[in-house]
Amino acid sequence: MEKQILFTTEPIVIPALALPSREIGACVEFQGVVRETEQDRLLAGLQYEAYESMAVRQLERIFDELSAAHPCAAVTFIHRLGWVPVGEASLFVRVLAAHRGESLRFCAEAIDRMKVDVPIWKRVYERHRTA
């Protein structure tokens, strides 16, 4: 499958949809957005950091393993680093496949596994002490 993995300190720009073949029947997109409240605290935003080279390796492995279980044609993964204010996206994932089942499962499981094994960290900044 085609894999595109990107970390950026700029606001995420969603790439134009490019279909790798005419057999794509499903395009699943997910954005993770920074919420204003977390555990009853009002946030100004989140500060993200990553061990980028290892994160890319881990993501490639996760995508390859998931692709064996849920065949998909392409995945685009963009994670923002640095300061992300409330209301902006920290994560964008797009999965292309022939059918919706594979692409929905791939997308959900990829995010679940990222949250367990991919070396990315966030810190919470409450609103009254904005970084």
Partner 1 sequence: MEVKVLAFAQARDQLGFAERLVTCEPGESPRAVLARIAPELRLEAMRVAIDQEYQSWDVPLGGASEIALIPPVSGG
Which residues in this chain contact partner 1 in the complex, by CB under 8 A? 32, 48-51, 53-55, 57, 79, 90-91, 111, 114-123
Concatenated DSSP letters of 64-104: HHHHHHS--SEEEEEEE-EEEETTSEEEEEEEEESSHHHHH
Cβ proximity to partner 1, 48 vs 63, nearer residue:
48
Q: Are 90 and 60 in contact (CB under 8 A)?
A: no
Q: And the tokens for 36? A: 């204003």
Q: Is 4 helix (H, G, I), strand (E, B) or coil?
A: strand
Q: Supply the minimum distance, in Å, between the C-beta of residue 54 and partner 1.
A: 4
Cβ proximity to partner 1, 43 vs 73, nearer residue:
43
Cβ proximity to partner 1, 31 vs 104, nearer residue:
31
Cβ proximity to partner 1, 24 vs 125, nearer residue:
125
Q: Supply the minimum distance, in Å, between the C-beta of residue 47 and partner 1.
A: 10
Q: Supply the minimum distance, in Å, between the C-beta of residue 27 and partner 1.
A: 20
Q: What is the rounded CA–CA span in Å between residue 37 and residue 71?
A: 37
Q: Which residues pair with 46 in a beta bridge?
A: 84, 124
Q: Supply the minimum distance, in Å, between the C-beta of residue 17 and partner 1.
A: 22
Q: What is the rounded CA–CA span in Å between residue 52 and residue 69?
A: 26
